[in-house]
Amino acid sequence: MKSLTPKRQLVLDIIESSDQPLSSQDIFSLKEEDLNLATVYRTLNYLEKNNLIEAFSLFSESRGTVRFYFRKSNPHLHFFFCQRCHQFTPFRDCSFSQKAQEEIEAKYQHKIQSHVLYFTGICRACQVS
């Protein structure tokens, strides 16, 4: 594929160097030079379409539905999202078994290529406060 424009490369670098999924607003608020919100949106769209990053949408009462972007990682990651403090906790191991995936493929005759899974709730720190 073609090499990325500097802005696309910049946004990709931000996502790849983060342990947390980031929203377009998060990336925008990092205040990198001449990166306006419209550019961030367009760039994230481009990176997602070209399969350079992963993304999922998540609903929380305070923020509504927000799309989050994170790096294509090896090992494959899943996340816990705290609904109170909005922090993500990545899980290194995939708890969604190969067997469960094969059962879904057999049942629906679909070919699964990837999956996104996250948990939401209240994190340990927020439970005590």
Which residues are near Zn ion by CB under 5 A? 76, 82, 84-85, 94, 96, 123, 126
Instruction: Locate 48 and state its tokens.
Output: 């997602």
Residues contacting 10, CB < 8 A, separation 6+: 32, 35
- Minimum CB–partner distance for residue 126 and Zn ion (Å): 3
How many Å is the Cα radius of gyration of the chain?
Answer: 16
Nearer Cβ to Zn ion, position 66 or 123?
A: 123
Are 38 and 46 contacting, i.e. CB atoms less than 8 angstroms apart? no
Nearer Cβ to Zn ion, position 31 or 92?
A: 92
Nearer Cβ to Zn ion, position 55 or 123?
A: 123
Q: In what order do the strands lie in the sheet with 22-23?
A: 22-23, 64-71, 53-60
- Minimum CB–partner distance for residue 16 and Zn ion (Å): 19
Nearer Cβ to Zn ion, position 11 or 82?
A: 82
- Minimum CB–partner distance for residue 116 and Zn ion (Å): 8
What does the alpha-carbon distance between residue 8 and residue 82 come to, in Å, rounded to a whole number? 29
- Minimum CB–partner distance for residue 129 and Zn ion (Å): 8
